[in-house]
Structure 1
Amino acid sequence: MACRQLLLLSSLLLVASLTGAKPTSRAAPHIIHILVDDFGWNEVGYHQPSDVSADEIEVQTPNIDALKEEGLELDRMYVHKICSPSRSSVQTGRDPIHVNVQNVHPEVTNSDDPVGGFQGIPLNMSTMAEVLSDTGLYETSFVGKWDVGMATDMHAPYSRGYEKFFGYFHHSNDYWNFNEQKCSLKAVKDLWLHNETFSGPAVHLENGAHCGQDNQSPDGERCVYEEELLMGSVKQQLQDYAAGDQEKSLFMFWSTHLVHMPLQVPDSFLEKFSDVDDSYRRSMRAMSNYLDTEIGEVVDTLKETGLWEDTVLVFHADNGGEIMTQSCGGNNYPLRGGKFSNFEGGIRVNAIVSGGYLPEDRRGKVEGRLFTSADWLSTYASLAGVDTDNLSDAKAVASNLPDYDSVNQWPIISGEAEADVVAREEVIIGDTTSVEFNGDGDTLVGGLIRGRWKLLLGAKNKLYRISQDVVTSVNYPSHPIIVPEAIFRTCSRKLKNACLFDIYADPAETTSVAEENEDIFNEMLARIDELQETVYSPDRGKKDKRACEAAKGEYGGWWGPFM
């Protein structure tokens, strides 16, 4: 072993002894990051109300519950309210207002801005995979939903620090035929494979023409559920890694399709919930249970291959469950709102840190200090021995792009930090002027969290209204409100219409306390104005016809980079 590696190993073992982390013979622990999609606060067993009887609870997530019992629950983990911005934040270590608050489609381009005129992560911003790769200690892999850029090869995972990629580029696709959107009225498929020997559409995995949710066993045709393919890739890569030379540690980012729309799942899982009357809720219950089952299989694989003891495993959602119209089937009870809303149900998510590398005295506990999607980059960098106090993205700074906002949370996770030490002082809540869910607009600071205080501020062009002012019931959608997105609350700059909440005493955000806390309201409003001056707000452009041209021509009916 080279002198540099010996010195680094010695320093990491010293850090482990000081932090309480489990000493390891490796230079750095394995990192498995599991990002689940649209997974509501009330979709896990451990968040079920204590006063609800067992026969009333629909949720069945024993493996996730076990992960929490042998890990550390992060009770105040915050993300953006929509998919792509949360993912941009996680990958780049930036607050969404400094990287992306728009959920536009990956076919958009703006030729006037060759850096930021695309979906997702601007060119010249570094990612967590690049930071870890640059240490020389990690091999990297990405499986699942990407959703942060597709326009060129430089936007794809394999140019963002991930050596392997198996997944799809868009917000979602059909779980059975992989279709996502259309070109000239013809559906286009979205599934890509990149490894040492191949890079292109995963045509060899295409299902038969009759395969679908309503026909899962067509005669003589291939018909495999997409999530089975993704999970199978994760397990195979873990097994292959364990059987190899293991010179480097493993960083795997597994971004599940579940439980995002469309509501599709194998019949064998639907049958488990045949007693759930509402078909949408039945599908969501089945999808959550499928997710839980595959989480269990991957954890078992980590343990069977001997990788678990040297692993830090992080599990969290990209945003809250989708409750827009009852057909979505999501549930964030007892939190207000859901996906697309800045109420707690949209941005406060289930999160767990587990794995054998987590100190034993942190297992089975609940951590209540603030965490955000931006913090994982610095946290992982610290595990690789990087000096995170001086961590900067030189490539971005040279391009006049925002630098990292990421905070190293490992001292909090490991228990090294005292109980009264706070790594993150505030959570910046992002928003947009766009009136379309997947449209482009100006970047806004839509609120702020500091300790027990949360201030929400609606967009002026939307009359300061925050959508989904509703709390669902335990077994949503048993609720009289059919279209929650049509229920608004005004959250303005005026004291009488302000939305300042004490989220410790009032986690459901029922009552504003602005008038009795005017000084706090004014202080936080001033901070929002200060942060607004720092936002990154490129014009990401419009759908580029070259995306369809490439899909129909070069890729034979599949999406891929088009510039």
Structure 2
Amino acid sequence: MQIKKIILLLLVVLSGTNSQAQKNARPNIIVFLVDDMGWMDTSVPFADSIMPLNRRYHTPNMERLAATGVKFTNAYAQPVCTPSRTSMLTGMNAARTRITNWTSPDKNIDSDAGDQQFAPLGWNRNGLSSVPGTGHTAYATPFPQLLKEAGYYTIQVGKAHWGAAGTPGANPYNLGFMVNIAGHAGGHPQSYLSEQRYGNMPGKAQMQAVPDLEEYYDTHTFLTEALTREALKALENPIRRKEPFYLNMCQYAVHTPIMADPRFVQKYYDAGLDSVEAAYASLLEGMDKSLGDIMDYLQRKGVAGNTIVIFMSDNGGLDHHQRGGAVNTHNSPLRSGKGAVYEGGIREPMIVKWPGVTRAGTVNSSPVIIEDFFPSILEMARVGSVHTVQQVDGRSFVPLLKNIQKPAARPLIFHYPHKWINIRTNEEAKLGINYYTAMRYDHWKLIYRMRTQGFELYDLSKDLRETNDLAQVEKEQVKKLALIFGRTLKERSAQMPVDKRTGKAVPFPDEAIQ
């Protein structure tokens, strides 16, 4: 009897010790980053009520994540992908990195469309580099490197698109990742189909062909599914060894080419969507299945209780081209879409689940931006004081997750001194595309049109659609915000385009207002 009591006592002590060890263990962290997903591309409502587009799409696993975590309704990225992705890794705003457009997969190629008014901009067209002295790059210390040094097992799966081929930033191993699956200089897949070998057909492969997935060729495995399976394989080692891990799960979906995921597309045909929109909806549902598969895997392996999951998109959804239906409807009620500084181009669906920290089913309306991921993830991982070669602009949103404080207002900058696509000038003004820069400050949104040095002002607390321009009514507010805007851009050494006619750079917002 005495021996049984001793054994029971030991079991209780060991159980308590194991429970305490789990509690004290550094959390695993997963960032699930979607490509080109808009704020409304989900059955999860991020607005105050369910909108028609929420009823179009089926994302039950996003619903599940939101029900167990916190939904951020004012989360932002940049208008296009590489600026957002490099800001996330470095904590620097795109105005500071000078990676303000998407990087071509080829080295030293300017992705800007030619323009009659403005000369080509000397921006960092080769993207991010962890090595100093690399031409046309932003030199920085990426947070995966800091996590790796702190003992995390770091994994990159899917789209990378941080730097051009032939530069250090094209290779995830140079940025602190210990495992890389399908991440390279390409910005979208050549194909989602295994029958087309994800673009790797002999004699037809381009720089956008997705690498590393030969196992799935000709197996009828959609790209989204193949990446998910490889991610789960990569997690086996750290989970078995009980090492903390960081997974950068970056689906290529829902970027073009818009190709139907055969597992899900029929329901959207049956709902009456045209072929393009049905295919787009199926890409979204396939992405959502990937999220669910990963969450299920964490449960099966017994690590869900110590794994943080952060869901985010890198820019707004496509609106004005390569979609079915009318322009300026695909992100409604938000205006415009990818490439624009209007809300449709920069406001993103973001959800965070941190077991034991976030309260299930909560909503946070504080504005956050993608460079905030850098300090937030390091704080979550309990990585103390670190040395970085760059100045970090991001601010940790961990206090928001812990509901500790309401943050003070700060300028959120969306700087796009480029010509993304060739469209008519009147369409540029309608869509907020090409040579625009914008700042959100509290509930105010100030937009600066570089072509004309004109301003637009919106009160987002009352005008989410950005239809009521208050610039001529709230002139003092415009002046106040323009001073903050210009000062912030200058402090970050932002670039402004140079007018071919005068040879002078466009004045900063604070200069244009005087």
Q: TM-score, normalised by structure 2?
A: 0.78
Aligned mates of 1:227, 1:308 — CA distance in 2: 22
Instruction: For residue 48 of structure 1, report the CA deviation from its aligned partner.
Output: 8.1
What is the RMSD of the two structures over their aligned residues, measured on CA atoms?
Answer: 3.2
Alignment equivalent of 1:452, drawn from 437, 443, 450? 443
Equivalent position of 2:38 in the other structure: 40
Equivalent position of 2:457 in the other structure: 500
* 8 Å CA contact 2:101, 2:418 repeated in 1: no
Instruction: For residue 205 of structure 1, report the CA deviation from its aligned partner.
Output: 3.6
Judging changes above 3 Å, is the alpha-carbon distance between structure 1 residues 382 and 131 closer, same or farther for their aligned structure 2 residues? same
Instruction: Determine if the alignment matches structure 1 residue 175 to structure 2 residue 192.
Output: yes
Aligned mates of 1:117, 1:43 — CA distance in 2: 30
SS at match of 2:323: helix
Equivalent position of 1:164 in the other structure: 179
Judging changes above 3 Å, is the alpha-carbon distance between structure 1 residues 278 and 509 closer, same or farther for their aligned structure 2 residues? same
* 8 Å CA contact 2:44, 2:63 repeated in 1: yes
* 8 Å CA contact 2:260, 2:279 repeated in 1: yes
Instruction: Determine if the alignment matches structure 1 residue 385 to structure 2 residue 393.
Output: no
Q: % of aligned pairs identical?
A: 22
Equivalent position of 1:214 in the other structure: none
Instruction: Determine if the alignment matches structure 1 residue 291 to structure 2 residue 307.
Output: no
Q: For structure 2, which runs of at least 5 residues remain unmatched after alignment?
A: 1-19, 111-122, 130-136, 423-433, 498-514
Equivalent position of 1:409 in the other structure: 397
Instruction: For residue 384 of structure 1, report the CA deviation from its aligned partner.
Output: 2.7
For each residue in 1:480-526, what CA deviation from the matched residue of structure 2 results, as whole angstroms up to 9, or x when unmatched? Answer: xxxxxxxxxxxx1xxxxx31100011111110122332222101112
SS at match of 2:33: strand
For each residue in 1:443-469, what CA deviation from the matched residue of structure 2 results, as whole angstroms up to 9, or x when unmatched? Answer: 987111111100011222xx46xxxxx
What is the aligned residue count?
438
Aligned mates of 1:85, 1:530 — CA distance in 2: 21
Equivalent position of 2:118 in the other structure: none
Judging changes above 3 Å, is the alpha-carbon distance between structure 1 residues 106 and 366 closer, same or farther for their aligned structure 2 residues? same
How do 1:515-530 and structure 2 match up within 5 A?
515-530=472-487
SS at match of 1:137: coil
Equivalent position of 2:256 in the other structure: 261
For each residue in 1:374-420, what CA deviation from the matched residue of structure 2 results, as whole angstroms up to 9, or x when unmatched? Answer: 011101111233346xx5523x4xxxxxx1112111111122x23xx
* 8 Å CA contact 1:238, 1:301 repeated in 2: no
Instruction: For residue 125 of structure 1, report the CA deviation from its aligned partner.
Output: 0.8
Aligned mates of 2:166, 2:138 — CA distance in 1: 10
Instruction: For residue 225 of structure 1, report the CA deviation from its aligned partner.
Output: 1.7
Judging changes above 3 Å, is the alpha-carbon distance between structure 1 residues 447 and 277 closer, same or farther for their aligned structure 2 residues? closer
Judging changes above 3 Å, is the alpha-carbon distance between structure 1 residues 86 and 51 closer, same or farther for their aligned structure 2 residues? closer
Judging changes above 3 Å, is the alpha-carbon distance between structure 1 residues 503 and 182 closer, same or farther for their aligned structure 2 residues? farther
Instruction: For residue 161 of structure 1, report the CA deviation from its aligned partner.
Output: 0.4
Aligned mates of 1:531, 1:445 — CA distance in 2: 16
Q: For structure 1, which runs of at least 5 residues remain unmatched after alignment?
A: 1-21, 193-200, 208-220, 397-402, 438-442, 465-491, 493-497, 540-563
Equivalent position of 1:513 in the other structure: 470
Instruction: For residue 52 of structure 1, report the CA deviation from its aligned partner.
Output: 6.5
Amino acid at match of 1:428: I
Aligned mates of 1:280, 1:384 — CA distance in 2: 41
Alignment equivalent of 1:428, drawn from 375, 397, 413? 413
Aligned mates of 1:130, 1:203 — CA distance in 2: 25
SS at match of 1:188: coil
* 8 Å CA contact 2:128, 2:138 repeated in 1: no
Aligned mates of 1:410, 1:103 — CA distance in 2: 29
Aligned mates of 2:228, 2:238 — CA distance in 1: 15
Judging changes above 3 Å, is the alpha-carbon distance between structure 1 residues 26 and 381 closer, same or farther for their aligned structure 2 residues? same
Aligned mates of 2:50, 2:179 — CA distance in 1: 46
SS at match of 2:56: coil
* 8 Å CA contact 1:109, 1:119 repeated in 2: no
SS at match of 2:158: strand
SS at match of 2:338: coil
Judging changes above 3 Å, is the alpha-carbon distance between structure 1 residues 98 and 304 closer, same or farther for their aligned structure 2 residues? same
Equivalent position of 1:230 in the other structure: 227
Alignment equivalent of 1:146, drawn from 154, 160, 180? 160
Aligned mates of 2:366, 2:95 — CA distance in 1: 21
How do 1:33-72 and structure 2 match up within 5 A?
33-47=31-45, 50=49, 57-72=55-70
For each residue in 1:301-344, what CA deviation from the matched residue of structure 2 results, as whole angstroms up to 9, or x when unmatched? Answer: 11111111011110011111101236367831211111011100
Q: TM-score, normalised by structure 1?
A: 0.71
Aligned mates of 2:480, 2:201 — CA distance in 1: 48
Instruction: Determine if the alignment matches structure 1 residue 340 to structure 2 residue 339.
Output: yes
Judging changes above 3 Å, is the alpha-carbon distance between structure 1 residues 349 and 435 closer, same or farther for their aligned structure 2 residues? closer
Instruction: For residue 138 of structure 1, report the CA deviation from its aligned partner.
Output: 0.8
Judging changes above 3 Å, is the alpha-carbon distance between structure 1 residues 436 and 43 closer, same or farther for their aligned structure 2 residues? closer
Amino acid at match of 1:411: P
Aligned mates of 2:341, 2:399 — CA distance in 1: 29
Judging changes above 3 Å, is the alpha-carbon distance between structure 1 residues 52 and 413 closer, same or farther for their aligned structure 2 residues? closer
Instruction: For residue 137 of structure 1, report the CA deviation from its aligned partner.
Output: 2.8
Instruction: For residue 186 of structure 1, report the CA deviation from its aligned partner.
Output: 4.5
Amino acid at match of 1:224: T
